[in-house]
Amino acid sequence: MSENAPRHYIDGHEISGGRLVNLIDRAEELRNGRPQEGSGALAGKSVALIFEKPSTRTRISFEVGVVELGGHPVVLRGDEMQLSRGESVEDTARVLSRFVSAIVIRSGSHENVVTLGEYASVPVVNALTPMFHPCQALADLQTLKQRFGNLDGLKLAYVGDGNNVARSLAVAGSLTGVEVVVAAPEGYQLESDVPAKLTDDPREAVHGADAIYGDVWVSMGDEETADQRRADLAPYRIDGHLLSHAKRETIVMHCLPAHPGEEITADVLYGDRSAVWDQAENRLHAQKALLEYLLAS
C-alpha cells in the first residue's frame, strides 16, 4: 500500500492482530465514556452508508456511531443510487470519494466491494457481503475480551452454517490468538484453507470452548432451500444438551437476528449465559473505534 493509499477494512486481513487488540481497547474506552461526546474524529466529515440489503444493527450502529464521532451519515439504499441503473462500481467509487470521507457498504456482491476499495480514494468498510462480515467479528472480539479479560488462548466454537460470519471469526481469531472451531455438516462447511479447525461434530467443537456461537440457518437468499437447510442443520442447534458438553462458564453468542427454536433455543438465547445483547451493543463501540483508526491522519 502506498503512503497516501486509504485504509480499508474489507476482509479483516487489513489490520494486524496487535492493532485489532488496540482497537478493541479503544472501543472499550468509547463504551465506558458514553453518552459523553466522542472524540470528534469525524467533525466536519460525512460518511456514506450504503445498504443494498435490509439491516438493523449494522445500519443503526454505524449511523449513530458517525453522529457520536461528530460526523454526518449519508444513508443510501441500493435502489436510490445510479448503481441500480448501470453506473459502474468504479465510477461510483470515484464520485463518492469526492463527496465523503469514508464509504461503508452492505452488499450482495463481495467482488463489488473489493472493486469499490480499489477505485476509492477514501476508506471503504465492508458492512457485510456474502463472503465476510468483519465488523461483526470485531465486535465479537470486544465481547470476548470484556468477558474473559484477554483474547489469547481462548477457544470459540461456531456451530451451524459455515457462512460469512464464521469465516470472519476465523480470520479475526487467527490474528488475535483465539482458536476458532467450526462445526458444520457436509455441504455447509467453510473452505479447507480457512484459519480454523473444521469438524462435523458439534459436541467435539464445544468441548473446552469458552464461547459457543450460532447464526441463522436461513439467510437472505436461502429462502428457496429453507426446509432442506433446517433439516440438515437441526443436529447443530444450540440448546441445553449441547451446552452440557461445554464448561460451566462457557458463554453463548449469536450475531442476530435469531430464530428461537431453530438454530438456538429460547432458554439459551435469553438465559444467563447469553452474551448476545452485549455483542449487539458492541457493534456501535467497535465500529466507532474502527472509523477513528481508518480516518486517522
Catalytic residue among 106, 167, 229, 285: 106
Residue 201 near residue 183 (C-beta atoms within 8 A): yes
283 assigned to active site: yes
pTM recorded for the entire structure = 0.96
Instruction: Check residue 34 and give its pLDDT.
Output: 81
Question: Which of residues 221 and 41 earns the better pLDDT score?
Answer: 41
Grid coordinates representing 227?
426446509
User: Do 205 and 74 have their domain in common?
Assistant: no
- Range in 82-86, 103-107, 194-198, 212-216 with the lowest mean pLDDT: 82-86
Instruction: Check residue 137 and give its pLDDT.
Output: 98
133 assigned to active site: yes
152 assigned to active site: no
106 assigned to active site: yes
Residue 176 near residue 19 (C-beta atoms within 8 A): no
Distance from C-alpha of 252 to C-alpha of 156, rounded to nearest angstrom: 10
- For 3-25, what is the mean pLDDT? 94
Range of the domain at 169: 134-280
Per-residue pLDDT for 270 more than 50? yes
Distance from C-alpha of 102 to C-alpha of 117, rounded to nearest angstrom: 10
User: Do 156 and 287 have their domain in common?
Assistant: no
Tell me, yes or no, whether 255 lies in a domain: yes
Q: In this predicted model, what pLDDT tens digit does every residue of 90-134 receive, in sequence order?
A: 999 999 999 999 999 999 999 999 999 999 999 999 999 999 999
Instruction: Check residue 35 and give its pLDDT.
Output: 66
User: Do 158 and 208 have their domain in common?
Assistant: yes
Catalytic residue among 237, 255, 279, 287: 255
Task: Decide: helix, strand or coil at residue 13.
Answer: coil
Residue at 135: amino acid letter: C
Distance from C-alpha of 239 to C-alpha of 246, rounded to nearest angstrom: 11
Instruction: Check residue 138 and give its pLDDT.
Output: 98
Instruction: Check residue 1 and give its pLDDT.
Output: 47
Query: In degrees, to the nearest 5, what angle opens at C-alpha 48 toward C-alphas 92 and 28?
Result: 140
Instruction: Check residue 15 and give its pLDDT.
Output: 97
Tell me, yes or no, whether 76 lies in a domain: yes
DSSP letter for each residue of 145-200: HHHHS--TT-EEEEES---HHHHHHHHHHHHHT-EEEEE--TTSPPPTTSSSEEES
User: Do 153 and 266 have their domain in common?
Assistant: yes
272 assigned to active site: no
